[in-house]
Amino acid sequence: MNKEFIKKVRAFLSGEPLLLTEILDWLATSQPIKNNKSRLTKYLLTLQRCLFVPNLPNQIADKLSITNDSLQELLVCYYNMDDVRDWKFAISQSVEDNTKLSYLNYKNASKYEVKVLLHHTTILFVVDDKYYEDLFSQHNIRIKAKPTSVLKPIVESLFYDDTKKQQEIIDYISYFYTNLIDASIKEVSGKEILWAYYYENYAEPSNGGTLWNSCMRHEESQKHLEIYCDNPDKISLVVAVNSSNKVLGRALLWHTPNGVYRDKIYAYNSTIENKIKDYCKEKGYPYIETDDVSIKLDHGKYRYLPYLDNMNFFTKEGIQNFDDDDVICFCKCMGEHFFYNEDYKNVNGRYYHVDDLNYSDYLEEYLLEAEEAYYAPDEFDYFPPDDVVYSSLEEVYVYVHSKSVVYLEYCGDYAFLENCVTDINDELRFTSHVVTSVYMDGYIMKDEAMYHDEVGWVTKEVFDKLVVEKV
């Protein structure tokens, strides 16, 4: 035993605090203590019991053959673990999540300078100048993890010569904690998907795993889920709920001609994630990354799109989880398309090749050639239907808001200003509708004009007057 450490322990016995990391460093290099009845060993064993004996359910402790009254196997187990920085001690059931274990490790003990103090015959732990009788209540400095990951090294060391026994115990631990939580699985579609995504329907507390970290849980995200709700035959959701019908986990299901595929699971904890995985496995829903998956979906009409984990490659006909020559855009961030095939454009919710479209400089967007793109030659541009009208006078479409286009009330039609003249009554007339009257010094309407042999074109009123005067 290290002499320097013995000095520190004797000081500890006299009431001086001893850093927990110093104890751990000593334990990492010492040999197992057997049948040592000295006062020093008595306190060390007591300290080791506080540090190492798991505060676990009796079923797990029995499986490991560890109780508070039998330390030897556990001590040997830890001595066989070479690096003290890998040790997990003061293991207990997590208070915040009973499907996980919490523990301390070397790093945290060092970070918070956990000290150990002997007060009369009671060992106290000092953290941030506060005194505690155990290390199991220090939730702020403890680490939470899956029970199997915490206990596996201990199981392997305790049963180093029996791999079958190791696996049996690990499987039991996994089964035990999986069944601690009350959860049922169901599938929903349509508007129920909105309910399953909204955070107010989640199980508390709000620090629950990937579920509570999902960017799609907020109220403002609800409008981005329309594409799911409107296509119940192609998209549904598998949901885990507790007895109060609060959401514990969810995963999208994509219904394709080749079967149903499960997308990424967002769950309250790993136990719920495993329950959803088991459910999907039993139902024959493989994980979507195991295959090339595509569905036909009229996605272009949606202004808002959700965050997509896997089905984020958009083709003209639908969406898929793989890239190929048919992909026209990519959607990963919530509601954003990233086009990398510039030969296709989204027009009115559908994708078209640019050869089938006309670009409008006025609107700064593409318009359908047959249905909504009207070329106005005076503007050298394309316009939507509400902004153009067919002019029978010009025999072309004209842009009604153009300064070069006028509306002629007398005939109820539009014409280019350059093809109009002002008649003798200061009214605009279409050029082909008038004749020039030299006698009257202006333009007169053809349907009101008569030709006089001596003076040329005049109005009927003037013509009659000239006839009377001649007589």
Single-letter residue type at 146: K
The H or E element containing residue 128 is none
**pLDDT for the residue 33:** 47
Beta strand pairing call for 396-399 and 405-408: unpaired
Collapse the DSSP code of 52 into the 3-class scheme (helix H, G, I; strand E, B; otherwise coil) and give the result. helix
406 vs 123, 393, 399, 419, 426, CA distance in Å?
99, 12, 10, 10, 15
> For the residues 318-336, what does the mean pLDDT come to?
75
pLDDT of residue 37: 47
DSSP string, 291-353: S--EEE--GGG-SS----SS--EEESSEEESS--TTEEEE--STT--EE--TTEEEETTEEEE
Q: Which residues contact 161 (CB under 8 A, 6 or more apart)?
A: none
The residue ranking higher by pLDDT, 84 or 235, is 235
* Strands of the sheet with 88-93, listed across from one edge: 88-93, 101-105, 143-145
Name which of 53, 259, 20 is nearest 124 in CA terms.
Answer: 20
**What are the boundaries of each domain within the chain?**
3-178, 184-301, 360-417, 423-470
On the 0-12 / 13-18 / 19+ scale of CB atoms within 10 A, 239 is: buried
Please name the residues in contact with 166: beta carbons below 8 A apart, sequence gap of 6 or more: 155, 156, 159
The pLDDT-based confidence of 348 (bands split at 50, 70, 90) is: low
DSSP codes joined into one string, 86-110: G-EEEEEE-SS-TTSEEEEEHHHHH
* pLDDT number for residue 349: 57
Question: What pLDDT shows up at residue 354?
Answer: 66
Q: Residue 200's pLDDT is what?
A: 95
Contacts of 15 (CB under 8 A, 6+ apart): 117, 118, 119
Question: Span 130-139, mean pLDDT?
Answer: 80
Backbone angles phi, psi at 148, to 5 degrees: -65, -40
The answer to whether residue 340 scores a pLDDT higher than 60 is no
Whether residue 202 is predicted with pLDDT greater than 70 in this model: the reply is yes
Q: What is the mean pLDDT of residues 83-89?
A: 75
* pLDDT value at residue 63: 85
Contacts of 219 (CB under 8 A, 6+ apart): 198
In the predicted structure, residue 255 carries a pLDDT above the cut 50 = yes
Q: What is the 3-state composition of the chain as percent helix, strand, coil, each rounded to the nearest 5?
A: 35, 30, 35
Q: Are 23 and 1 in contact (CB under 8 A)?
A: no
Predicted pLDDT at 42 = 67
Coil/strand/helix, residue 371: coil
pLDDT confidence tier of residue 106, bands split at 50, 70 and 90: confident
Burial environment of residue 70 by CB neighbours within 10 A (0 to 12, 13 to 18, 19 or more) = exposed
pLDDT the model gives residue 334:
57
At 34 the pLDDT is: 45
Of 325 and 438, the one with more pLDDT: 438
pLDDT at 355: 66
Higher per-residue pLDDT: 260 or 32: 260
pLDDT grade for 344, boundaries at 50, 70 and 90: low
Residue 469 pLDDT exceeds 60: yes
pLDDT tier, 357 (very low <50, low <70, confident <90, very high otherwise): confident
pLDDT at 70 over 60: no
* Total number of residues shown for the chain: 471
The predicted-structure confidence for 222-251, as pLDDT tens digits, reads as follows: 998 999 999 999 999 999 999 889 999 999
The CATH architecture one would assign to domain 184-301 is 3-Layer(aba) Sandwich (3.40)
DSSP, collapsed to helix, strand or coil, labels residue 4 as helix
CB 249 within 8 A of CB 271: no
- H/E element, 178: helix 163-178
- What is the band of 373 on the pLDDT scale with cuts at 50, 70, 90? low
Residues 6+ apart with CB under 8 A from 225: 193, 194, 197, 216, 306
For the segment 279-325, what is each residue's pLDDT rounded down to a tens digit?
Answer: 999 999 999 988 999 999 877 677 788 888 899 888 878 899 998 87
pLDDT of amino acid 369: 58
Query: Which own/partner pairs from 264-269 qualify as long-range (CB within 8 Å, at least 24 positions apart)?
Result: 264/309, 264/310, 265/210, 266/209, 266/210, 266/211, 266/214, 267/209, 267/210, 267/211, 267/240, 268/202, 268/203, 268/208, 268/209, 268/211, 268/212, 268/240, 269/97, 269/99, 269/100, 269/181, 269/208, 269/209
Mean pLDDT score across all residues of the chain: 82
The larger pLDDT score, comparing residue 309 to residue 37, is at 309
Mean pLDDT of 337-342: 52
More confident residue, 103 or 338: 103
Helices 39-52 and 3-13 cross at an angle (nearest 10°) of 90
Q: In terms of pLDDT, which residue wins out, 392 or 361?
A: 392
CA 17 to chain CA mean position, Å: 49
Structure tokens that stand for 240 in this block: 């885990």
Instruction: Pick the more confident residue, 338 or 239.
Output: 239
Residue 273 has pLDDT above 60, yes or no: yes
Of the chain, the percentage scoring pLDDT greater than 70 comes to 81
β-strands 115-119, 259-267 pairing: unpaired
**Cβ-contact 188, 236 below 8 angstroms:** yes
More confident residue, 136 or 347: 136
Using alpha carbons only, what angle is made at residue 360 by residues 359 and 363, rounded to the nearest 5 degrees?
130
pLDDT band at 194 (very low <50, low <70, confident <90, very high): very high
Tokens of 47: 């300290």
Q: Strand pairing partners for 252?
A: 237
